[in-house]
Amino acid sequence: MNKLAIQGSQWGDEGKGKIVDYFSSRADVVVRYQGGNNAGHTIVFENQKYAVKLMPSGIFHKGVKCVLATGMVINPISFFEELEILKKANFDVSQVFISSRASVLLPYHQLLDGASEKVLKDKKIGTTGKGIGPCYEDKYARIGLRFCDIIDENRLKKHLKSALEFKNRELESYSLDKLDFDSLFNQINEYGKKIKPYVCDTSKLLQEEIKKGSKILYEGAQGAMLCINYGTYPYVTSSSPMAISIPLNCGIPLNSVDYVLGIAKAYTTRVGEGPFPSELFDGTSVYLREKGHEYGTVTKRPRRIGWLDINVLNHAANISGVNGWAITLLDVLTGLEKIKICVGYRYQGNIVNDIPASLEDYEQYEPVYETLDGWNEDISHVKSFSELPINAQKYLRKIEELTHVNIAMFSVGPDREQTVIISDPFEDK
């Protein structure tokens, strides 16, 4: 079990950063495989709270190689902002590697993200506004810049010139000012020079680590329901957070993952627009939002809150083959008299369990709940499953029963220490 994938299994913000950090002390390499600085992963230890956006959450452990893989879209300006913060806090940033094939997120991407959201008005996606969608668009339209292109002045000139022709036309179509080639070139050229030492063939690097038998953590951003292929399209992000995307996004063979750890909150949250059948609008949502500090790490938006949805977990697990769950924020449910789990949906007079392709269908799905008794005991210092109040134990067992996947671990607070392992997914065989 040397190669562990951490996959968000709801709509993001499941606590992936915390779980990656927890295992990173034992890892040789931590790899971010998709997304960009739309991610906000929170890590808490020694009474300090940190949030990483582009950097793998292994960065807090000295000697761990941190890889930003090909599947990512990386804003070089944000990269250095984050790097400086980490350096100032005395973390070791000497082992950061960026894929020469990863996509460069440029200022026009962010402008276009904002502009298209404005045009969509009440149909807006509710993006993080970081330019993620437009950058992936360029990648697939084959006019994107990759890191191999910006670390060489001549290549940058050539690629930026042809890309900016398209992009300026697009900016104009939104009545935005065109960007001046020379000033953009000078800006990105500076960043290209600065970033060069970090850029390499990370696919080769990972292949070599795999051959050596290194312990590797793959860190997903976002969550399964935000997947471009299998999420609540179009209210999704523009990449695939599913663990099955790891081989392609990292440039490594299919069998490069030993275990997929699905991260799920003990309830559900979502930021941005789109369907969310188990969403709550009553006092319980306010209670959970305040208790769980459910405000976006990146955009500070209040997160939408709902009960745990088993259909969502099964969707995530069935597509990417989740081997075990990490259930996070269990402590936040403490104090509720009754806890509901969405176990199915009512649709056109039938009970169904699928996540349909069509949004128009999904919007008509009504949640069907099973109700369990809650608990009042403080669980934030619990160190084992058996120390949990019996109703909390029953809640976790119910998740296992309904998903047919065992719970490998659970989390009872934001701190690194507030983590309980039931069956270790990252121990040596």
CB 71 within 8 A of CB 34: yes
What's the CA gap between 257 and 245, in Å, rounded?
11
Closer to ligand GDP by CB, 167 or 270: give it.
270
As a whole number of angstroms, the distance between CA 15 and CA 327 comes to 9
Cis omega (within 30 of 0) on the bond before 275?
no
201 is catalytic: no
- Report the alpha-carbon distance of residue 131 to residue 112 in Å, rounded: 7
**Does position 135 bind ligand GDP by CB under 6 A?**
no
Can residue 82 be called a binding residue for ligand GDP (CB under 6 A)? Answer: no
Per the residue annotation, which of 21, 41, 113, 309 is the catalytic one?
41
> Whole-angstrom Cα distance, residue 314 to residue 319?
8
331 binds, among ligand GDP, Mg ion, ligand IMO, none (CB under 5 to 8 A by kind): ligand GDP
Q: Which residues of this chain interact with ligand IMO, rule CB under 6 A?
A: 8, 11-13, 38-41, 125-128, 130, 132-133, 221-223, 226, 237-238, 271-272, 297
- Answer yes or no whether residue 34 interacts with ligand GDP by CB under 6 A: no
The smaller minimum CB distance to ligand IMO, of residues 272 and 413, is found at 272
**Is 56 or 192 the residue whose CB approaches Mg ion more closely?**
56
Element (H, E) at 71: none
Strands 65-68 vs 29-32: parallel, antiparallel or unpaired: parallel
Q: Which residues pair with 66 in a beta bridge?
A: 30, 96
Q: Which residues bind Mg ion (CB under 5 A)?
A: 13, 40, 297
Query: Cβ 107 to Mg ion, closest distance in Å?
Result: 24
User: CA 183: distance to chain centroid?
Assistant: 33
Q: Which residues pair with 52 in a beta bridge?
A: 41
CB of 48: closest distance to ligand GDP in angstroms?
11
User: According to CB under 6 A, which one of 87, 293, 338, 397 is a site residue for ligand GDP?
Assistant: 293
Residues that bind ligand GDP (rule: CB under 6 A) add up to a total of 23
Q: Which two three-digit tokens encode residue 89?
A: 């806090």
Specify whether 61 is catalytic. no
Give the nearest residue (CB) to ligand IMO: 272
Residue 11 C-beta: closest distance to ligand IMO, Å: 6
Tokens of 111: 């402008």
- The item of Mg ion, ligand IMO, ligand GDP, none sharing an interface with residue 328, based on CB under 5 to 8 Å by kind, is ligand GDP
**Using rule CB under 6 A, residue 40 touches ligand GDP:** yes
Residues that bind ligand GDP (CB under 6 A): 8, 12-18, 40-42, 44, 292-293, 297, 328-329, 331-332, 411-414
- The catalytic residue positions are 13, 41
